[in-house]
Structure formats: structure tokens, C-alpha cells
């Protein structure tokens, strides 16, 4: 008897053992993470920082708060023997900004003071640029308060001032921030109106010795509590790029 090759069906191969499905991140979390990574790789476009009531205030115990009146592209400031800070986070698309420009004006000024001395460092205006490393920025950059950022070991803060007793361009240590902050005098204490353009990357390297990573927020302060004087000032057309 002759057996043909098709007399029996071919053997069925053994099935491979089932594999466990790989865990997947929620779609929203995945998209958010990829978006932040993509933004960190792109150059920053020019962005006008708006002055609105969304800015948050940091006030100090037993010191009257400075008045800040927001009007879109400008904030008017009055400090009557007072001191306080206002802060706004920046969106992730601005975190790679390396330059900034603005106009500021003072019609009533405190006298020249030593900005390196606690309790004697009144200034007409201080403009803060707050930086974090990229990892910390992704974790807290959009939600951290100015109080938390001012005390964070991960923060590096450039403070440009309209006030003080040193020449323009002077780089000074901060009496409050220690190694995490640096003061750069743009204008000594006086009255007048000026336009500013700063290279944040150059000034950051000058102050801290390396390149900035993520510019997560800006803050403004005006104080006259130590000298007992009155400041009337304004900032307008703040742009980061």
C-alpha cells in the first residue's frame, strides 16, 4: 500500500506561551511628556509677558505691601515705606528664552543704597528671572510659587535692578539668595525712563559659571521700607525670547 504525502494533515506547531501585555502610560500623560520634550528642543520665539491680575503676590510680615496696578503691557508701581514681590510663571514654550527686553521708568526714587546689605537695600525696581534645571522644571516649573522658588536649591535667579549705589553692570551677591542668586545693576538709584535689552545666557554664565536651562518665571519687586521713602515707577513691554 502506497501512502501519499497528503494522506495525513501536517503537524500543528505548538503554540507559544502567551506574553504579558506591556504597561502603557495614559495617553494624556504621554502627550504631555512628549510635548515638554519637544518644546525643550526648540528655540524660543519672542513672547510678550502680560501684566494681569493672575500674578501672585509675596508679602512680608509687618511690612506694608507695595502697590502694583496691572494694565496689560504695563504695571504701575507705588512703594510707600513698603515691600512686596509679584510673580508670574512662564509657559513651557518660553523656557528656552535667553534674552529679554523691557522699558522702565521712575518718577520718585529711593536714595542710593548698598544692595548687598540686609535691611538697607531699598531699590526702585527689581526684575527677577527665575531658572530651574530641565528635570526640576518639568516637575514643578508650571506650579511652584515664588516663595518655593526663592528657597529652592535647584533655582538660580538673576535680579536686574533700577536702584543701588554701584555703576551700571555691577554684579553683586544677593544678601537673601546666597549662591542661588545674583544682582546686576542696570541703573543706579535715580529718576528717568530707560529701555533695556539683556542677554540672559551671558549674564547667567557670568553669575553662575554655566549655561541656563529653563526660564520658568519672572518676578517684580519694589521696596522703600528701609529708607522710609516713596517710589513711583513702572515697567512696560516686557518680552522674553
In angstroms, the Cα distances linking 14 to 6, 8, 10, 17, 235 are 21, 18, 12, 9, 76
| pLDDT (0 to 100) of residue 36 | 44
Radius of gyration of the chain from its Cα atoms, rounded to whole angstroms: 27
Domain extent listing, the chain: 44-240
Mapping DSSP onto H, E and C, the string for 33-47 reads HHHHHHHHCCCCCCE
| pLDDT (0 to 100) of residue 3 | 36
CATH code of the domain occupying 44-240: 2.60.120
* pLDDT, tens digit only, all 241 positions of the chain: 333 334 334 444 444 444 445 445 444 444 344 444 444 444 558 999 999 999 999 999 999 999 999 999 999 999 999 999 999 999 999 999 999 999 999 999 999 999 999 999 999 999 999 999 999 999 999 999 999 999 999 999 999 999 999 999 999 999 999 999 999 999 999 999 999 999 999 999 999 999 999 999 999 999 999 999 999 999 999 999 9
Q: What pTM does this model have?
A: 0.82
In contact, 125 and 222? CB cutoff 8 Å: yes
In contact, 89 and 141? CB cutoff 8 Å: yes
Sign of CA dihedral 12, 16, 18, 23: negative
Amino acid at each position: 500500500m502506497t501512502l501519499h504525502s497528503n494522506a495525513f494533515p501536517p503537524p500543528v506547531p505548538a503554540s507559544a506561551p502567551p506574553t504579558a501585555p506591556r504597561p502603557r502610560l495614559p495617553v494624556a500623560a504621554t502627550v504631555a511628556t512628549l510635548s515638554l520634550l519637544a518644546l525643550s528642543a526648540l528655540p524660543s520665539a519672542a513672547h510678550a509677558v502680560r501684566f494681569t491680575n493672575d500674578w501672585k503676590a509675596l508679602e512680608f510680615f509687618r511690612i506694608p505691601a507695595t502697590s502694583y496696578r496691572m494694565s496689560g503691557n504695563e504695571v504701575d508701581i507705588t512703594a510707600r515705606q513698603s515691600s512686596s514681590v509679584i510673580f508670574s510663571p512662564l509657559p513651557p514654550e518660553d523656557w528656552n528664552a535667553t534674552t529679554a527686553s523691557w522699558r522702565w521708568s521712575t518718577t520718585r526714587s529711593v536714595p542710593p543704597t548698598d544692595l548687598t546689605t540686609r535691611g538697607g537695600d531699598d531699590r526702585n525696581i527689581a526684575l527677577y528671572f527665575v531658572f530651574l534645571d530641565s528635570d526640576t522644571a518639568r516637575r514643578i516649573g508650571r506650579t511652584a510659587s515664588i516663595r518655593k522658588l526663592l528657597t529652592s536649591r535647584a533655582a538660580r535667579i538673576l535680579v536686574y535692578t533700577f536702584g543701588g549705589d554701584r555703576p551700571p553692570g555691577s554684579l553683586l551677591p544677593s544678601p537673601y539668595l546666597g549662591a542661588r542668586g545674583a544682582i546686576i545693576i542696570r541703573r543706579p538709584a535715580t529718576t528717568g525712563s530707560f529701555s533695556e535689552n539683556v542677554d540672559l545666557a551671558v549674564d547667567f554664565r557670568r553669575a553662575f559659571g554655566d549655561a541656563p536651562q529653563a526660564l520658568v518665571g519672572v518676578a517684580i519687586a519694589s521696596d522703600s521700607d528701609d529708607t522710609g521713602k516713596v517710589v513711583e515707577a513702572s515697567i512696560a513691554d516686557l518680552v522674553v525670547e
